[in-house]
Chains A and B, each alone.
Chain A
């Protein structure tokens, strides 16, 4: 019977206590998800890499720990999100996560989609990426946190400082739109 894998928080504590290999395990667990979250949210490889690097270096050099009810995963994605927003502000780029979005209008449109189209979702990576970038930024963020961050809805609500019901509706609309966009691509 093998021992249970150490939690992220335990690995971080071990690294902070001087155990270097603990960080390698922690990094391996989150490298892909965090990178894909940043790539999907920023839409640019160079920017995603820059923020990704800054996030990990910040974590390495910081002595702080996840506070309150936040676990390591939420904390890591919070750092990355803040870094990306800082980058946008620093370069005078309009903060896309602050865009208002008429979710009701999208809901009416999405409800007309045929559920059978689920069977023929495109697997083409370019089409997946394009469909993702067609989402409003706040919906895309929730979808990416759910998909690549593997965060549950209350965690996403806490991280984005958004009411839980809003998070739920954003995720639902994002999924409906993606399903429609990917299915349409296949049909044409």
Chain B
């Protein structure tokens, strides 16, 4: 700020700096410093502190809660198809009580078999349960052949026999034997004739 060369004029400035008097009073100093101390600006909160303050306001709490709720719902809706188990069988909702009991028996037997292993290893139990469920599914499929369909076919056999179309009736019966090898078709045919 000052020139390196000293001139007579600069000497006057220097002279005044050295010998001038005049100081603010102690009272004035304390007054100004007191005000400065009292009115020191509040420190600016950090980003995190500002975030916390915002979160403490009720309207923002409601907004955030709503947002979280919507997010959860959307996530659940999107994930539901992936999590849905794909079982080989589904319980027949319209099954009558006696049929349901009949169906439950083999399933209970199948589930009872791996039970002793349950306390050894959970995965083994899980596997056995799955195997049981598969077995039950097969049984269920087999027994789930609509009895009315078989009866319908057998009634058709009776109708053909009554109509004098014996070759056609025999051919249909042979086909039913192939299709339902475990069924007592002759006995069942007799029952239908009695009815």
Contacts and interface: CB of A to CB of B under 8 A. Distances in A.
B115 interface: no
B91 interface: no
Interface string B20-60: 11111100110111011101111110000000000000000
B1 interface: yes
A121 B20 CA distance: 13
Given A18-B42, A35-B23, A150 B33 contact: no
A118 B10 CA distance: 11
B13 A147 contact: yes
Given A49-B28, A53-B28, A148 B20 contact: yes
Contacts of A172: 9
A36 B36 contact: no
Nearest to A173: B9
A67 interface: no
Contacts of B39: 60-61
B9 A147 contact: no
A121 B9 contact: no
A23 B42 contact: no
A84 interface: no
Nearest to B36: A23
B19 interface: yes
Contacts of A32: 22-24
A27 B20 contact: no
B102 interface: no
A147 B44 contact: no
Given A121-B12, A179-B8, A57 B32 contact: yes
A183 B27 CA distance: 36
Interface in A124-154: 125, 128, 132, 143, 146-148, 150-152
A66 interface: no
Contacts, number: 104
A20 interface: yes
B15 interface: yes
A62 to B, nearest CB: 11
Contacts of B33: 23-24, 27
A128 B16 contact: yes
Contacts of B43: 17-19
B24 A35 contact: yes
A105 to B, nearest CB: 18
A18 B1 contact: no
B191 interface: no
Contacts of A147: 13, 16-17, 20
Interface in A109-130: 115, 118, 121, 123, 125, 128
Interface of A: 15-20, 23-24, 27, 31-32, 35-36, 39-40, 48-49, 52-53, 56-57, 60-61, 115, 118, 121, 123, 125, 128, 132, 143, 146-148, 150-152, 171-172, 175-176, 178-179, 182
17 contacts: A17-B41, A17-B43, A18-B43, A20-B36, A24-B33, A35-B22, A52-B28, A115-B8, A118-B8, A128-B20, A147-B17, A175-B9, A178-B12, A178-B16, A179-B8, A179-B11, A182-B15
The 4 closest A-B pairs by CB, nearest first: A18-B43, A175-B9, A20-B40, A152-B1
